[in-house]
Amino acid sequence: MDEPIEKPGEEPVKNKISRRFLLGGAATTAIVLLQSSLTKWVQTAGAQTLIKNGDPTKITGAGPSTVGKRSLFEKPVRLTSDTSSRTPLQDLYGTITPSDLHYERHHAGVPVIDPDKYELLIHGMVGKPMVFKLSDLKRFPSVTRTCFLECSGNFRTSKETMTPQEICGLTSQSEWTGVMLSTLFREVGVEPKATWFLAEGSDAALLTRSIPVKKGWDDAMIVYAQNGEAIRPEQGYPARLLLPGWEGNTNVKWIRRVELSDQPFMTREETSKYTYPVKDKIRQFSFEMDARSIITYPAYPNQLERGWVEIRGIAWSGRGKIIKVEVSTDAGKSWNATNLQEPVLDKAHTYFRHLWQWRGDETEILSRAIDETNYIQPTLRQLIEARGISASGYHMNPITAWQIKRDGKVLFKPESFK
Amino acid sequence: MNRYVVVMASAMLLLLLGTTGFKSSNSLPRQTITADTSKWPSTFSFGKVATEQQIDSVAIAILPNGTGLPPGLGTPKEGNVIYITKCASCHGANGKAAAGEKLPAPELASDSISKIKTIGNYWPYATTIFDYVRRAMPYNAPGSLTNNEVYSITAYLLSANNIIKPDMVINAHNLYKINMPARKLFIPDDRRGGPEVR
């Protein structure tokens, strides 16, 4: 029962810097070196060609291209393990995650699916079992919605040198487009006695989850587009289930089959996984992601300078809107309301900002989210009091604290879990 | 110029309405996600009716009451042979890691005092073993096992966890009746939002 915090959802993040991280860092360093050595050379040698190369106004730039690229000075990367990758939350602005930086969690890799051969079967307790090709799905009235996704095993705590990406990078946000599942339910004639449906992916794990039919009628979607283009393979190309606000695993990717039933199927992912001890019981079908927030600036590895600091971060809730995010700059003694960036959407990452003057004192900064159900993001201690000492890492959404050292170093404040 | 004034005025009016609307009521503005379906036809007639054959070729899910279990049978003894060749390299000999061994996949068997989540102390339904092994295992060759092989591996894993006797024959008529020790521990989610932390 006693599972280390690193376990759920993915392989543990080792207490060492990953090769990928090192490569990214090395690349950044190389650019800095290049710039400074260039400047030095320009100052001493005064070479005309280098002045030209260093001055964008003196050389004609590259022409248009078929597909754009990031500036060569920007290198945001996901942090990968064998089964997942994490969004670099500290490198992002606003609330849309660039599609190529969306977090991943796969159970048997990313399948290659030919969109012309793709089919979605809906059957079981329905009046008329149907098969829809991708082109059929795209003909139905469509809907576009922005919401977050989050793996329910999205919590790490171990050492002070952890970035937001390492602590909770298994959450991302996209604008999704597709067809409401209720539109398809209407088309196949879901029988009133159907209370659950099975969603099955066409990956090598044939991943399955049982979902209450009520969610299907409420706001579930079959989505085929992400941030204005076809959904990425890692996010379920050509189509996935989207259950706004519900744990990532239930949003079955590469969906091939929906089977209506009058009971849950008790698949492996909803029994031996994605369940967790609460006191002497095991909590199952724990769908909604409770409210959470994290300060993404300043955060490790930022170096703070005295003066005005705009504290920034994201907050989200699987139960609806964020109504308030509070920030403490005195280690939790007092809390200040922050500015929420409009529009604040249901079940969506919400950007918050708080202006603060740092005078060089040692302190801790924290944020807590409050959602429209008046749920207040808890501390780790509150979560463990509620669930017992055998609480696992699933559905852990504690307040994250950053330590500000006198020299301006910003460090994560790890909390003992067991 | 006139058009510009009109556009600006409408924009400001919208802004005003939006602001006052927000302040005068406690309910927050909703993200509009669904269309008005009142004018929709009874059916769009997109897609095709699925044939029995189409459904049977993919509908492999098994319910905890045994619905969906295929014909066939297996024994722990036969399962042990298959386990050694196809499972042990990742899940350990006998479903356990040797002392100091780091396995690439979860341990599957345990003594009752073990804190590691295994089939014996954490899986609530025996049908899940059959369903999961058939759809996803072995990891490097998913879907390659025959139904009899899956029954045998299921029987072996239940036996290795001391849930069934080593000579029991497992089939569609008895697998779902096996009482799993962890079954009584499972409770549905009782979190409801609101101020209480659960």
A216-265 pLDDT, tens digit each? 999 999 999 999 999 999 999 999 999 999 999 999 999 999 999 999 99
Considering the domain boundaries, does residue B158 fall inside one? yes
In Å, how far is A412's CA from the nearest CA of chain B?
24
Topology classification of domain A292-412: Immunoglobulin-like (2.60.40)
Q: Which residue has the higher pLDDT, A416 or A148?
A: A148
pLDDT of A301 reads 97
**CB-nearest partner of A204 from B54, B117, B142:** B142
In Å, how far is B41's CA from the nearest CA of chain A?
10
Q: Give me the residue spans of the domains in chain A.
A: 18-59+71-75, 104-275, 292-412
Considering the domain boundaries, does residue B129 fall inside one? yes
Q: Which residue has the higher pLDDT, A368 or B98?
A: A368
The H helix count followed by the E strand count for chain A is 7, 24
- DSSP secondary-structure letter at A72? T
d(C-alpha B99, C-alpha B145), whole Å: 30
> How many CB atoms are closer than 10 A to CB A205?
20
Local confidence band at A268 (pLDDT 50, 70, 90 cut-offs): very high
Q: Tell me how long chain B is.
A: 198
d(C-alpha A396, C-alpha A380), whole Å: 8
pLDDT of B37 reads 85
Report yes or no: B31 at the A interface, CB cutoff 8 Å.
yes
- A373 neighbors B193 (Cβ within 8 angstroms): yes
**What residues 79-98 of chain B have any CB closer than 8 A to a CB of chain A?**
none
Local confidence band at A418 (pLDDT 50, 70, 90 cut-offs): low
Considering the domain boundaries, does residue B61 fall inside one? no
- Mean pLDDT on B160-180: 97
Give how far Cα A217 sits from Cα of A104, A198, A261, A367, Å: 27, 14, 15, 34
Beta-carbon contacts of A359 under 8 Å, excluding residues fewer than 6 positions away, are A306
Beta pairing class for A281-284 and B186-188: parallel
Residue A36, pLDDT above cutoff 70:
no
- DSSP secondary-structure letter at A114? -
Local confidence band at B30 (pLDDT 50, 70, 90 cut-offs): low
In Å, how far is B113's CA from the nearest CA of chain A?
10
Q: Which residues pair with A229 in a beta bridge?
A: A226
Residue A14, pLDDT above cutoff 90:
no
Residue A214, pLDDT above cutoff 90:
yes
Local confidence band at A391 (pLDDT 50, 70, 90 cut-offs): confident
Beta-carbon contacts of B40 under 8 Å, excluding residues fewer than 6 positions away, are A141
The H helix count followed by the E strand count for chain B is 7, 4
For the four alpha carbons of A346, B190, B198 and A168, in that order, the dihedral sign comes to: negative
CA-based nearest residue to B119, from B156, B90, B150, B161: B161
Q: Look-up: residue for tokens 């319910």? A: B63
Considering the domain boundaries, does residue B43 fall inside one? no
- A351 neighbors A340 (Cβ within 8 angstroms): yes
Nearest CA in chain B to A274: B189
- A363 neighbors B183 (Cβ within 8 angstroms): no
Give how far Cα B117 sits from Cα of A153, A170, A250, A271, B110, Å: 16, 23, 21, 11, 8
d(C-alpha A67, C-alpha B161), whole Å: 55
d(C-alpha A227, C-alpha A225), whole Å: 7
Q: How far apart are the first and last CA of chain B?
A: 60
Residue B146 belongs to what domain range? 72-185
**CB-nearest partner of B47 from A132, A282, A376:** A132
A257/B191 touch (CB, cutoff 8 Å), yes or no:
no
User: What residues of B are in contact with residue A256 (Cβ under 8 Å)?
Assistant: 58
Amino acid at B56: D
Strands annotated E in A280-362:
281-284, 292-297, 307-316, 322-328, 336-337, 339-340, 350-358
- DSSP secondary-structure letter at B55? H
Residue A337, pLDDT above cutoff 50:
yes
d(C-alpha A211, C-alpha A246), whole Å: 10
Residue A136, pLDDT above cutoff 90:
yes
CA-based nearest residue to A212, from A265, A176, A175, A248: A265
Suggest the residue from B22, B34, B52, B127 to mutate for an interface test with chain A (most A CBs closer than 10 A). Answer: B34
What are the φ/ψ torsions at residue A312 (nearest 5 degrees)?
-130, 150
Residue A69, pLDDT above cutoff 50:
yes
d(C-alpha A254, C-alpha A265), whole Å: 19
Considering the domain boundaries, does residue B152 fall inside one? yes
The encoded tokens of residue A301 equal: 């590895």
pLDDT of B99 reads 86
The encoded tokens of residue B128 equal: 């899940």
CA-based nearest residue to A168, from A221, A108, A103, A229: A103
CA-based nearest residue to A111, from A268, A256, A258, A10: A256
B139/A108 touch (CB, cutoff 8 Å), yes or no:
yes
pLDDT of A51 reads 53
d(C-alpha B103, C-alpha A170), whole Å: 24
Local confidence band at B34 (pLDDT 50, 70, 90 cut-offs): low
pLDDT of A58 reads 87
Considering the domain boundaries, does residue B9 fall inside one? no
Q: Which residue has the higher pLDDT, A385 or A22?
A: A385
Q: Which CATH number fits domain A104-275: 3.90.420.10, 3.30.2080.10, 2.60.40.10, 1.10.10.60?
A: 3.90.420.10
Q: Look-up: residue for tokens 């002497």? A: A280
Helix residue ranges per DSSP H, A140-228? 164-168, 181-188, 213-218
CA torsion A355-A357-A361-A367 (nearest 10°) is -10
Nearest CA in chain B to A122: B50
- Mean pLDDT on A266-286: 96
Residue B50 CB burial class (10 angstroms; 0-12, 13-18, ≥19)? buried
Give how far Cα A350 sits from Cα of A145, A353, A376, B19, B64, Å: 14, 10, 15, 19, 40
CATH number at residue B97: 1.10.760.10
User: What residues of A are in contact with residue B197 (Cβ under 8 Å)?
Assistant: 378, 382-383, 385-386
Report yes or no: B136 at the A interface, CB cutoff 8 Å.
yes
Give how far Cα A63 sits from Cα of A51, A56, A66, A68, Å: 21, 14, 10, 11
In Å, how far is A144's CA from the nearest CA of chain B?
7
Residue A28, pLDDT above cutoff 50:
no
pLDDT of B113 reads 62
Local confidence band at A52 (pLDDT 50, 70, 90 cut-offs): low
Considering the domain boundaries, does residue B175 fall inside one? yes
Residue B111, pLDDT above cutoff 50:
yes
pLDDT of A390 reads 82
Domains: count for chain B: 1
What 3-state class would DSSP assign to A386? Answer: helix
User: What residues of B are in contact with residue A133 (Cβ under 8 Å)?
Assistant: 47
CA-based nearest residue to B132, from A152, A7, A10, A265: A265
